[in-house]
């Protein structure tokens, strides 16, 4: 039964999560185990943090409201990078996939830009846009754009020639082909790329905050590293991870609503 399988999977996932937390607690508690890797058992807690103290730090951040301004800055940077990078990747992918001449002309430049480690652009963006939100958004856009672009480009190019021929025989013009054939064909590729793009948008925001900022969760993590407060470092990482998962879940919901026309696995085999 699919429902029972899904429920059992959730139970196993929660069990694995609980096991990881338990192992983390035991291995970082100086009184539960004899010294293993470190001669001084307190060093394990110093280098890996303590789950109870990490949870207490997260609770303190949210209960006092301290983290909300920083979290808001990081989320806005992430959302802007995600949205701008996705739109640019979608438009460029559709254009170049349907323009062989432009695609052949720009292909080596796009491949060269894609092969460049985008993190090295962060100092350049800081000089161009300053240390405010603009430089973080620009870095995030460069990370999101290429994933969306190449997925859209591939999705449009793999449109069935038979479907295109039939649509043209029925009198569809270029605009109708774009709306009813090319974009629907690319949508599944787009959403596949968006799941990765959410995480990369966070990466762009946090890396930018590392290099120079006075606000943001990345700034909090950097400050905690400077004072050797590993519990705060882990707390910041967990907060970012939780909100990245939340955004990924929102993308999944949008995908289910917008791609409801697509057959599910096995349905295409039914007569």
Question: Is the four-CA dihedral 192, 195, 199, 205 of positive or negative sign?
Answer: positive
pLDDT at 271: 38
Q: What is the pLDDT of residue 242?
A: 87
**Residues 32 and 140 grouped into a single domain:** no
What one-character-per-residue DSSP string does 175-229 give? Answer: HHHIIIIIHHHHHHHHHHHHHHHHHHHHHHHHHHHHHS-SSSHHHHHHHHHHTT-
Statement to judge: residues 65 and 129 lie in one domain: yes
For residues 246 and 143, membership in a common domain is answered with: yes
- Are residues 135 and 254 both part of a single domain? yes
Condensed to tens digits (0 to 9), the pLDDT of residues 191-212 reads 777 777 888 888 888 888 877 7
Are residues 2 and 61 part of one domain?
A: no
Q: What is the pLDDT of residue 84?
A: 92
Does 97 fall in a domain? yes
Q: Is residue 265 part of a domain?
A: no
CATH code of the domain in which 68 resides: 1.10.3720.10
Would you write out the chain's pLDDT as a tens digit for each of its 271 residues? 455 677 788 888 888 888 888 887 777 776 655 555 555 555 555 666 778 888 888 898 898 888 888 889 888 888 899 889 988 988 888 888 778 888 888 888 888 888 888 788 888 888 888 778 888 888 889 988 988 888 888 777 666 566 666 666 666 666 766 666 666 766 767 777 777 788 888 888 888 887 777 788 888 888 887 788 888 888 888 888 888 888 888 877 876 776 654 545 444 444 3
Alpha carbons 86 and 23: distance in angstroms, whole number: 39
For 151, the token pair is 């997925």
Please check whether residues 138 and 23 belong to one and the same domain. no
pTM of the model: 0.75
* pLDDT at residue 190, rounded to an integer: 73
Cα–Cα distance, 180 to 82 (Å, whole number): 25
Q: Does residue 244 share a domain with residue 123?
A: yes
Q: How far apart are CA 75 and CA 218, in angstroms?
A: 11
Quick check: is 266 in a domain? no
Greatest alpha-carbon span in the chain: 78
DSSP 92-129: HHHHHHT-HHHHHHHHHHHHHHHHS-GGGGHHHHHHHH
**210 Cα distance to chain centroid:** 18
Quick: pLDDT tens for 126-158. Answer: 888 877 888 888 888 998 898 888 888 877 766
Domain count, the chain: 2
- Tell me, yes or no, whether 106 and 213 share the same domain: yes
């Amino acid at each position: 039964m699919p429902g029972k399988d899904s429920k059992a999977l959730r139970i196993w996932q929660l069990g694995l999560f609980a096991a990881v937390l338990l192992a983390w607690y035991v291995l970082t508690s100086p009184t539960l185990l004899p010294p293993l890797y470190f001669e001084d058992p307190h060093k394990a807690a110093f280098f890996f943090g303590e789950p109870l103290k990490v949870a207490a730090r997260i609770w303190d951040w949210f209960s006092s409201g301290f983290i909300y301004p920083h979290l808001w800055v990081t989320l806005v940077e992430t959302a802007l990078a995600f949205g701008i990078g996705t739109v640019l990747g979608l438009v460029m992918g559709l254009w170049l996939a349907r323009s062989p001449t432009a695609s052949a002309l720009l292909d080596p430049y796009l491949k060269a830009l894609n092969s460049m480690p985008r993190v090295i652009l962060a100092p350049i963006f800081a000089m161009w846009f300053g240390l405010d939100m603009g430089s973080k958004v620009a870095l995030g856009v460069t990370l999101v754009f290429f994933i969306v672009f190449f997925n859209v480009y591939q999705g449009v190019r793999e449109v069935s020639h038979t479907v295109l021929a039939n649509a043209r025989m029925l009198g569809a013009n270029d605009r109708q082909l774009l709306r009813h054939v090319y974009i629907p064909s690319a949508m599944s590729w787009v959403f596949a790329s968006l799941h990765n793009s959410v995480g990369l948008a966070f990466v762009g925001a946090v890396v930018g905050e590392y290099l120079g900022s006075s606000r943001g969760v990345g700034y909090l993590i950097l400050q905690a590293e400077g004072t050797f407060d590993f519990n705060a470092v882990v707390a910041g990482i967990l907060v970012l991870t939780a909100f990245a998962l939340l955004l990924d879940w929102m993308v999944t919901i949008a995908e289910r609503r917008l791609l409801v026309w697509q057959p599910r696995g096995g349905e295409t085999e039914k007569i």
